[in-house]
Amino acid sequence: MKRVIGGCFAALLGLTGCSSDPEVLRADAGASDAAFEVGVDVVADRGAADDEAAVDAGDPHGGLLLPRCEDTEPAGSPEPAAVASTLVGSLLPMATRVMTPSTLARMNPVFETGETAYRAMSFDRYARGPAATRERRLDLGGPAAAPAAGRRSLAWFVAFSDTQLADDESPARYGTLDSPALSGAIRPQEAYLPRAMTAMNRTLRDLAQGGRAFQFGVIAGDCADSGQLNELQWFMQAMNGAAGIHTDSGADDDPIPGPDNDPKDPFDGVAFPAPWYYVPGNHDVMVVGTVAPTDALRATAIGASSPFGARDYTQWYAPPQRGATRADPARRLLDRADIVRALREGPATPGPVGHGYPAAADVAMGANWVNDVVPGVLRLIAIDTSDFTGGSIGMIKRALFDGWLRAELERAQTDGVLVMLASHHPTTSIDRRLEEIGAEVADAVSAAEIEARVASYPNVVAWLVGHEHDVRVRPVRGADAAHPGYWEVQSGSIADWPNQARAIEVVANGDGTLSLFGTMIDYAATSCMERRFRRLAMMDYLSAWEASHVGTALDRNVELVVPLPAAARLRVEAAALTAPTRLESETTLRGMR
């Protein structure tokens, strides 16, 4: 959930404190009324229809509580041949996105009425589109023409974020509050998301077999959806390729009798094909990404009553329902120390142990870490930007900014290495306000100051982010030619359309510049449930119940040029002597073998 229940809106639900500003209160009250109207309509719409059907036909669904996956697939619309790299071909909807979403609850694609209506509009159909272009961007400087020879590949990795793997049966969910204005409280595709993660990992594994293996992956936060123990465990199992992954909680549901035919059945994962690094997001440390845990919320999460709507798999189509549900202690809410402990106790393969966090990780100022992901060449500095006070917007405190972060940036410059920062929030989603819309926090740092400080270090070449779910690339310019600035790279989300990852390659051009190649990757669907995830995510987007995150050609497949910083020149030139001459971005990702 990107732009939902935070700050004073959460207070109106009785979950947290609130500002006393009357203008803020009026704005939030209106949002709350609208959300509650949608929630009430949703429950009434589903319940009345089911009751009438039950009276007229007994059991109209033949013992099923979800439709069979195969019965939901559009007739005459076979899955296109698998193409991972969008430089070779891209998946495109066969319908046009609506300009204005229907606000009627029955048109929410989460529900059978909405999905049926959108299927009739072909919102579940996609086809293979043409190859996307690669755009060479010179916003930070560099020659207009790429060098013809002498280029070397220094790093080859994957970035993605916002899987938002949800326990959709948790009493902590806000399912009945979902609306186009407050999207993300529930997603039609969310139960199938672990299958999509497995499909993406399998696709990346197969892609690497055609060229060089990926060196690492960076997951830029919101791995879980509501900061629960079981959500983090499921995420880790999916990333580590565990056998028998069972993303079910409370009662052991089997909506379609039989094995491996519904999203609540256990399945075997496929491991991410390289060591992966974890960066926390607001959904990893807060209830539905918006409300800091309290004793009351901790009790709700493991309790047996849902105030705002969890999915009910005892009813047809598993509608979100308020009221009684099955309690489960595995839904325990986590703090940052719990997260680090769980990551460090995970399996050593694909690694690394701790996924960025050392044994003595100090989380007093957040779950931050530093790691040389390409030893002697590229250092990753991960910053925990989630606001300890609550709200979905990020915050960086003065002590962290002037202390730990400044020290690490200075050390990297002294060490002569290239630097990438990683955080969940981009600076466009960082503020200084208590719970997003409250009073200013005196020791919080403004986004403008953060950008200026980071851009003053010329060996910082990129900042990898998530949160907004957008496919977006943004130059952050420095003060002068000696301090050109860095590239902010946001790679969309797995949770929302277009459900992509980004392959990134750092290349020494041999002409005094570096290039950061970024290429969007589609997962190859090999099962009906993987296809159903994609179709429902696309439907959510086309119906405008979810915002558009697709970006432009300048955001997707890119070559981002940046002058080679003088402080890192010696290490880069030394590494280039033995680095591969084959650029995976221009060979493997173009379908060349």
Extents of the domains making up the chain: 7-245+290-590
Give the integer Cα–Cα distance in Å for 275 and 352: 5
DSSP secondary structure string for all residues of 82-109: P--BTTT-EEEESSPPPSS----GGG-T
User: How far, in Å, CA of 335 to CA of 498, rounded?
Assistant: 31
Q: Which residues pair with 370 in a beta bridge?
A: 381
- Given a cut of 50, is residue 310 above it in pLDDT? yes
Query: How far, CA to CA in Å, does 201 sit from each of 194, 276, 438, 533?
Result: 11, 11, 41, 15
Answer whether residue 437 shows pLDDT above 90.
Answer: no
25 confidence band (pLDDT: 50, 70, 90):
very low
pLDDT level of residue 593 (50, 70, 90 thresholds): low
Which helix (H) or strand (E) element contains residue 516? strand 513-521
Task: Check whether 356 has a pLDDT greater than 60.
Answer: yes
Other CB atoms within 10 A of residue 58 CB: 7
How large is the average pLDDT for residues 451-456? 98
The pLDDT tens digits for 363-384 are 999 999 999 999 999 999 999 9
Alpha carbon dihedral 463, 487, 549, 177, in 10-degree steps, equals: 30
Other CB atoms within 10 Å distance of the CB of residue 415: 15
| pLDDT tens, position by position, 167-196 | 999 999 999 999 998 888 999 999 999 999
What the block records as the tokens of 178 is 């979902």
Confidence band (pLDDT; 50, 70, 90) for 15?
very low
pLDDT at 211: 86
- pLDDT over 60 at 37, yes or no: no
- How many of the other CB atoms lie within 10 Å of CB of 295? 7
What pLDDT is stored for residue 592 in this prediction? 79
Model confidence at 48: pLDDT above 50: no
Beta 501-508 vs 152-160: how paired, if at all?
A: antiparallel
With cut-offs at 50, 70 and 90, classify the pLDDT of residue 317. Answer: very high
What value does the mean pLDDT take over residues 12-31?
A: 34
d(CA 36, CA 41) in angstroms, rounded, equals 8
Question: Is pLDDT above 90 for 535?
Answer: yes
Q: Would you state the structure tokens that stand for residue 473, as one six-digit string?
A: 């690339």
Give me the helix-helix angle, 528-542 and 193-209, nearest 10°. Answer: 110
Question: Which pLDDT value is given to residue 183?
Answer: 81
- The pLDDT of 27-36, averaged and rounded, is 29
350 upstream amide cis, omega within 30 of 0: yes
Q: Residue 39 is which amino acid?
A: G
Asked if the 7-245+290-590 domain carries CATH number 3.40.50.970, the reply is no
Residue 570: in which H helix or E strand, if any? helix 569-576
Strand pairing of 418-423 and 460-465? parallel
Helix ranges (H only) for 211-324 are 229-240, 282-285, 295-301
- C-beta separation of 557 from 133 below 8 A: yes
Instruction: Specify the pLDDT at position 45.
Output: 34
pLDDT of residue 435: 84
Q: What mean pLDDT comes out for the span 298-323?
A: 96
Using alpha carbons, select from 455, 418, 376, 366 the residue that is nearest to residue 568: 418
Q: Which residues contact 133 (CB under 8 A, 6 or more apart)?
A: 553, 557
For residues 122 and 74, the answer to whether their CB atoms sit within 8 Å is yes
Rounded to the nearest integer, the mean pLDDT of the chain is 90
* pLDDT at site 266: 98
Does position 36 have pLDDT exceeding 60, yes or no? no
Contact 92, 120 (CB under 8 A): no
CA–CA separation, 166 vs 235, rounded Å? 9
Confidence of residue 238 (pLDDT cuts 50, 70, 90): very high
- Whether residue 4 is predicted with pLDDT greater than 60 in this model: the reply is no
Q: With a cut of 60, say whether residue 244 has pLDDT above it.
A: yes
Q: Where are the alpha helices (DSSP H) in 226-379?
A: 229-240, 282-285, 295-301, 336-345
74-110 pLDDT tens trace = 998 888 988 999 999 999 999 999 999 998 888 999 9
pLDDT value, residue 82 = 86
